[in-house]
């Protein structure tokens, strides 16, 4: 079964009373365990597509299915629960909470899921070791390099063991070497069975995916 | 629950100066509430104790008019009438007047209480504060002797008046045979006590009585006796108003007017607490604006709206909690200082302020509540943020 399916999805933003179409009829399905890259120039609608797949937003028209469930009309709280259980986000800007240490950031999704502290800390530590930050757990984001921050972000995305990892330009703020490290981690996760959706405009990285979706002006072009 | 508290503390400790300043607003409010209420409580308690010392089995009869002035007011006849009422154990008439006093050539107006010498001790010994410091009470047969309130002995006149000295009242000499201990109430401490008949002679008011203290026999209903006294007075003096109070009624009346004072005190303090609450609201709104992106992160990682709500409400509640705790502590210190001052300047036991455990509990709960209420709007703002927009901030 497809883990993600989009049927005739349109998304229109209202900007100063002018309707700006971001997506104009997207049909798309992603199989469980696939490694997909979504590529396109900036303004093509790929971030909007990400937000819809990630249950952060609802389509203006059409339907979005996650594991066969239509999520396009769900309430805020139901969407939050889907994000918590099914999806792990990796952002270009890392989006770590600066006050919290690396391990506390990783604990966050588990915190919201109500995982008891002992289990939470244990799993967060394991995840940080998995991404090679076993010795950086008590560091705050500002004390970490860009590559390290992105690894914390990946560890956080794995908190509640989601099926889908959505990575939005995860290498965009990193040098080539760190970027390569991040790509390896993501690919390793894919080998372990996670579905990876990578949004990127970096051709070299994008081409490494099993399925490549090109998007332009809100439409899939190949 | 615990994890929310933990997270709030972490969030607040991140902006220490702002957290401290915000808490300060609540501290001031709660300090004001606690010290004001405790002073109010202390006043109520002090007054109650003085009246309770008077005894709940007593009835006080007074009249606004004086006998001899247009022939109305209480007289010796009323006293003997009341003596005949069933249930009355003991009746003591009083005649009080502001008279001309003189000591060593210094003349001052002084409050003089006239009492039946045989009944003086029985009437007043169990009234709060009427304890002898030196000498003795009035005794039957006493004519030109006087018992002094403490201040009259101490500093009412330029020189101290001691036992054995004589003071002049309305030009006539009275020998000092006793001095009362200080009661803390200037009305009592600056008065003197003499034989009622002698005083009325001096003032030319032979049968006049200003007040009658009645004691009810054990086993009789105080209110019933009061009613009988009222009826008897009405029969004798048509159209004249008398006040017949049981001590319980007096306690109730005074307590309720003190309650008003307490409410006013509490209201003033409450206003400062509202100001503290506005401070919290302000800080929390700033927090929400500053942490917009963080709210986006929380939502992206699976926080539901109610979880976001709770996080912000806990934070503002924690402001209230700490403000409340520290405020109660400072209020307690202030109330203790006031106690010390009252003891030094007004005398022991006159005003004992008290921060009771229930006052502390209510003050802290109130502070938390104020914090949470102040946080409602900012928390609502946080909940309403669109996750996509918030992440982009």
What pLDDT digit, counting tens, does each position of B300-346 carry?
Answer: 999 999 999 999 999 899 999 999 999 999 999 998 898 888 888 87
Range in A48-52, A186-190, B212-216 with the lowest mean pLDDT: B212-216
Question: Does residue B356 register a pLDDT over 90?
Answer: no
Across B220-237, average pLDDT:
84
CA distance B299 to B314: 17
Kindly indicate the confidence band of residue B128, based on its pLDDT and cuts at 50, 70 and 90. Answer: very low
**Which residues of chain A neighbour B304 with C-beta distances below 8 Å?**
76-77, 80-81, 112
Q: Choose from A139-148, B182-191, B210-219 the range with maximum mean pLDDT.
A: A139-148
- Half-sphere exposure for B95 (CA within 13 Å, toward CB): 27
Per-residue burial over A141-155, b if 16 or more Cβ lie within 10 Å, else e, is beebeebbbbbbbbb
In the block, tokens 């001899």 appear at B68
Among A23, A66, A76, the strongest candidate for a mutation testing the B interface, having the largest count of B CBs within 10 A, is: A76
Residue B125 CB neighbours (<10 A): 11
Q: How far does CA B185 lie from the centroid of its chain?
A: 13
- Partner-chain contact B388 A57, CB within 8 Å: yes
**B78-96 in b/e burial notation, b at 16+ Cβ within 10 A?**
bbebbeebebbeebbbbbb
B130 in Cβ contact with B123 (< 8 Å)? no
Across residues A50-63, what is the average pLDDT?
93
Give 3-state DSSP helix, strand, coil % of chain B, rounded to 5. Answer: 60, 20, 25
Q: How far apart are CA B389 and CA A132, in angstroms?
A: 32
The answer regarding whether domain A33-57+75-220 maps to CATH 3.40.50.300 reads: yes
> What pLDDT, on a 0 to 100 scale, did the predictor assign at position B326?
95
Q: What are phi and psi of B90, to 5 degrees?
A: -165, 135
In the predicted model, what is the mean pLDDT of chain B?
A: 85
**In which band, very low, low, confident or very high, does the pLDDT at A26 lie, cut at 50, 70 and 90?**
very high
A90 forms bridges with which residues in the sheet? Answer: A167
The SS3 of residue B193 is strand
DSSP-derived 3-state class of residue B364 = helix
Helices and strands in chain A, H and E counts: 7, 10
Predicted confidence band of residue B364 (pLDDT cuts 50, 70, 90): very high
Model confidence band, residue B129 (pLDDT cutoffs 50, 70, 90)? low
- Structure pTM? 0.70
What is the ipTM, given to two decimal places? Answer: 0.91
Going from N- to C-terminal start, the domains of chain A cover 33-57+75-220
- Å between A158 CA and nearest CA of chain B: 10
pLDDT at A199 over 50: yes
Which H or E run contains B106? strand B106-115
Residue A17: CB atoms within 10 Å: 5
The pLDDT assigned to B126 comes to: 57
Q: What is the DSSP string of B205-244?
A: -TTB-SEEEEEEPTTS-HHHHHHHHHHHHHHHSTT--EEE
- Chain A interface disruption, residue of B1, B14, B300, B303, most A CBs within 10 A: B300
Dump pLDDT digits (tens) for B259-290. 888 788 878 878 888 888 888 888 888 888 88
Mean pLDDT of chain A: 92
Alpha-carbon gap: B392 to the closest alpha carbon of chain A (Å): 10
The bridge status of strand B132-135 relative to strand B106-115 is unpaired
Q: How confident is the model at residue A193 (pLDDT cuts 50, 70, 90)?
A: very high
- Name chain A contacts of B4, Cβ cutoff 8 Å: none
Bridging pattern class, strands A164-168 and B211-216: unpaired
State the Cα–Cα distance between residues A183 and B144, nearest whole angstrom: 113
In angstroms, the separation between the Cα of residue A222 and the nearest Cα of chain B is 27
Does residue B213 carry a pLDDT above 70?
yes
Q: Do B301 and A83 touch (CB under 8 A)?
A: yes
d(CA A100, CA A84): 19
Q: How many CB atoms neighbour CB B256 within 10 A?
A: 10
Task: Please tell me which residue, B127 or B38, carries the higher pLDDT value.
Answer: B38
| pLDDT (mean) for B135-139 | 89
Q: Which residues of B touch A159 (CB under 8 A)?
A: 301
Whether B305 sits inside 8 A of A117 (CB atoms) is no
pLDDT at B65 over 70: no
Report how far apart, in Å, the C-alpha atoms of A6 and of each of A213, B236, B326, B332 are: 13, 102, 57, 65
Beta bridge partners of B23: none
Disruptive mutation site among B8, B291, B302, B303 for chain A (greatest number of A CBs within 10 Å) = B302
DSSP H or E run through B90: strand B88-103
Of A105-119, B36-50, B117-131, give the lowest mean pLDDT range.
B117-131
Judge: B388–A76 Cβ closer than 8 Å, yes or no.
no
Compute the distance between CA of residue A201 and CA of residue A45 in angstroms, rounded to an integer: 12
CA distance A219 to chain B (A): 21
Given a cut of 50, whether residue B294 has pLDDT beyond it is yes
- Per-residue pLDDT for A215 more than 80? yes
């Amino acid at each position: 079964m497809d883990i993600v399916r989009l049927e005739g999805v349109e998304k229109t933003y209202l900007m100063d009373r002018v309707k700006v179409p971001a997506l104009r009829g997207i049909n798309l399905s992603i199989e469980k365990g696939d490694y997909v890259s979504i590529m396109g120039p900036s303004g093509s609608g790929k971030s909007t597509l990400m937000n819809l797949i990630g249950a952060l937003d609802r389509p203006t028209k059409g339907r979005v299915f996650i594991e066969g469930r239509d999520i396009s009309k769900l309430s805020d709280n139901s969407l939050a629960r889907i994000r918590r259980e099914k999806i792990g986000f990796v952002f270009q800007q890392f989006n770590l909470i600066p006050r919290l240490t690396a391990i506390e950031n990783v604990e966050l999704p588990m915190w919201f899921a109500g995982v008891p502290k002992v289990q939470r800390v244990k799993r967060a530590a394991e995840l940080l070791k998995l991404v090679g930050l076993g010795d950086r757990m008590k560091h705050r984001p500002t004390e970490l390099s860009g590559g390290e921050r992105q690894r914390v972000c990946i560890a956080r995305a794995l908190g509640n063991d989601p099926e889908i990892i959505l990575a939005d330009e995860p290498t965009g703020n990193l040098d080539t070497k760190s970027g390569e490290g991040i790509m390896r981690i993501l690919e390793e996760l894919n080998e372990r069975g996670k579905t990876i959706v990578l949004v990127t405009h970096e051709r070299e990285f994008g081409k490494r995916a099993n399925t490549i979706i090109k998007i332009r002006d809100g439409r899939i072009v190949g | 629950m615990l994890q929310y508290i933990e997270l709030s503390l972490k969030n607040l400790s991140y902006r220490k100066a702002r957290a401290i300043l915000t808490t300060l607003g609540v501290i001031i409010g709660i300090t004001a509430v606690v010290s004001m209420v405790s002073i109010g409580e202390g006043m109520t308690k002090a007054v109650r104790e003085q009246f309770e010392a008077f005894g709940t089995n007593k009835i006080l009869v007074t009249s606004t008019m004086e006998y001899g002035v247009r022939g109305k007011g209480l007289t010796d006849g009323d006293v003997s009438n009341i003596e005949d009422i069933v249930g009355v154990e003991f009746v003591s008439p009083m005649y009080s007047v502001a008279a001309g006093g003189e000591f060593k050539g210094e003349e001052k107006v002084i409050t003089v209480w006239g009492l039946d010498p045989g009944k003086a001790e029985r009437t007043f010994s169990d009234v709060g504060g009427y304890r002898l410091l030196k000498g003795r009470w009035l005794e039957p047969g006493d004519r030109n002797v006087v018992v002094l309130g403490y201040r009259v002995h101490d500093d009412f006149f330029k020189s101290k008046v001691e036992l054995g000295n004589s003071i002049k009242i309305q030009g006539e000499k009275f020998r000092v045979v006793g001095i009362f201990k200080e009661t803390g109430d200037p009305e009592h401490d600056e008065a003197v006590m003499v034989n009622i008949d002698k005083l009325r002679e001096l003032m030319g008011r032979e049968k006049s009585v200003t007040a009658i203290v009645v004691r009810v026999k054990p086993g009789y209903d105080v209110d019933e006796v009061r009613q009988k006294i009222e009826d008897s007075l009405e029969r004798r003096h048509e159209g004249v108003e008398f006040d017949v109070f049981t001590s319980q009624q007096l306690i109730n009346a005074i307590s309720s007017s003190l309650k008003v004072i307490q409410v006013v005190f509490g209201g003033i303090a409450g206003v400062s607490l509202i100001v503290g609450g506005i401070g919290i609201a302000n800080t929390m709104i700033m927090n929400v604006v500053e942490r917009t992106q963080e709210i986006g992160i929380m939502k992206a990682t699976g926080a539901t709206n109610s979880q976001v709500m709770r996080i912000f409400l806990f934070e503002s509640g924690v402001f209230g909690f700490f403000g409340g705790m520290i405020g109660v502590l400072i209020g307690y210190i202030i109330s203790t200082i006031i106690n010390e001052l009252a003891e030094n300047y007004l005398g022991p036991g006159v005003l004992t302020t008290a921060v009771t455990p229930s006052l502390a509990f209510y003050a802290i709960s109130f502070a938390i509540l104020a914090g949470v209420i102040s946080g409602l709007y900012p928390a609502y703002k946080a909940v309403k943020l669109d996750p996509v927009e918030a992440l982009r901030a």
